[in-house]
Amino acid sequence: MIKDELRTPGAVRDAQRWTAHNYHPLPVVIASAEGAWLTDVDGRRYLDCLAGYSALNFGHRHPKLVDAAHAQLDRLTLTSRAFIHDQFADFCRELAQLCGKDLVLPMNTGAEAVETGIKVARKWGYQVKGVTPGQANIVVAEGNFHGRTTTIVSFSTDEEARADYGPYTPGFRVVPYGDLDALTAAIDGDTVAVLFEPIQGEQGVIVPPAGYLPGVRQVCTTRNVLLLADEIQSGLGRTGTTFACEHEDVVPDMYLLGKALGGGIVPVSAVAADAEVLGVLKPGEHGSTFGGNPLACAVGTEVVRLLATGEFQRRSAELGARLHGGLQALVGKGLLAVRGRGLWAGLDIDPALMTGREASERLMTRGVLAKDTHGSTIRLAPPLVITEEEIDYALAQLAAVLTE
């Protein structure tokens, strides 16, 4: 290889040539990573401020997670659920205990966890609550992001994600996020669940007004409706607590988990709920070939053990305060607003200055990788192993981008 020749442009072209264009990635080609840092094919280093949309909460290649994966690869990788394997019980028990729930149902992707939640809630509605046959409805929020399946995009309010995928699955009622009266009014005798994100990540890290979560909890309890918290992005340490619901002392009936549950190594998702809810499923009624496979369980168990120490939640809370302090200082200096909790922030860049895409590209040239979400909003979600110095570095690069 000719040393002076950059490999990046060719590698970017190759990557685009053979794939559907369902993403618009930044023009960077990553070759390796460790902790909070990525290295591209030309040896340039970048601070990861996206962390795989929070799938990499513990950083890239956390030694304990990589060790667990290696050890399991050498012993057993897949059995299907037709047989029981020796990693299954520990994972399910330790995750159930972390969630404070009776039972766990492991799946693979976040969307599958959400689909599982929807199916279980409907079955619970018919079999336990006694709703009108075929008429179960689920209340969801405007601006939601719960995944990409045909049923899930049926109740998306993002036209980009939804258009031309109909006919759409019926049985969902969309209400404004953060509006308790609207949510209460949408509930009727056939409502089986409220499905919501305690903080809306894709929408730009939208934190609902104080009191909203407890209000939703109370309405659900009074009206005998299941509260399904999609903590796929907000959970597992991201906001400074294990679950974002904890900030307002809310316990949902069902946690939907994914992303960081796989430690950035394998896709692992799960639903956690008590026996009177998850117990409605009988053999043959739901499943997944790869759900709860030995490799997923080995890594997932180690993830749960990392979280059980509380260290990552603490880091997120403490370092998050530093991140938010630094970001607040930029409001009025190129930033219009900052939202978020812990090591999770949504920044609205003054659209008169640049789009979110332009800001992401400029940050990239300064060694910081982040991604725009809607228009001029950027989301920052660095791995929870990031240090104070690295946060200051990211803030300095952002300040430079906003003023250059």
Ligand X SMILES: *Cc1c(COP(=O)(O)O)cnc(C)c1O
Task: State how far the Cα of 244 lies from the Cα of 233, in Å rounded to an integer.
Answer: 9
Task: State how far the Cα of 281 lies from the Cα of 302, in Å rounded to an integer.
Answer: 27
Binding mask 90-119 for ligand X (x = CB under 6 A): -------------------xxx--x-----
Give me the long-range contacts of 18-21 (CB less than 8 A, separation at least 24). Answer: none
Task: State how far the Cα of 246 lies from the Cα of 248, in Å rounded to an integer.
Answer: 5
- CA neighbor of 121 nearest in space, from 218, 200, 224, 219: 224
Query: For strand 226-230 and strand 191-196, is the pairing parallel, antiparallel, or unpaired?
Result: parallel
Q: How far is the CB of 283 from ligand X (least distance, A)?
A: 25
Q: Which stretch binds ligand X (CB under 6 A): 131-139, 143-151, 181-189, 210-218?
A: 143-151
Number of H helices and E strands in the chain, helices first, is 14, 15
Which region holds residue 224: left if phi is over 0, alpha if psi is between -120 and 50, else beta? left
- Residue 48 is a binding residue for ligand X (CB under 6 A): no
Q: Which helix (H) or strand (E) holds 277?
A: helix 275-278
Q: Which stretch binds ligand X (CB under 6 A): 141-149, 323-331, 334-342, 352-360?
A: 141-149
Q: Among residues 208 and 334, whose Cβ is nearest to ligand X?
A: 208
Q: How far is the CB of 224 from ligand X (least distance, A)?
A: 25
Q: Among residues 180 and 232, whose Cβ is nearest to ligand X?
A: 232
Cβ distance 213 to 249 under 8 Å? no
Catalytic position from the list 190, 259, 290, 348: 259
Q: Which stretch binds ligand X (CB under 6 A): 68-76, 116-124, 230-238, 241-249?
A: 230-238
Locus of tokens 């840092």: 37
**What number of chain residues touch ligand X (CB under 6 A)?**
15
- Residue 72 is a binding residue for ligand X (CB under 6 A): no
- Residue 193 is a binding residue for ligand X (CB under 6 A): no
Work out the number of other CB atoms within 10 angstroms of the CB of residue 103. 18
**Given 8, 52, 53, 305, the residue binding ligand X (CB under 6 A):** 53
Q: How far is the CB of 135 from ligand X (least distance, A)?
A: 26
- Residue 146 is a binding residue for ligand X (CB under 6 A): yes
**Given 156, 191, 233, 397, the residue binding ligand X (CB under 6 A):** 233
Instruction: Judge whether 145 counts as a catalytic residue.
Output: yes
Residues that bind ligand X (CB under 6 A): 53, 109-111, 114, 145-147, 197, 201, 230, 232-233, 258-259
Active site residues: 145, 230, 259
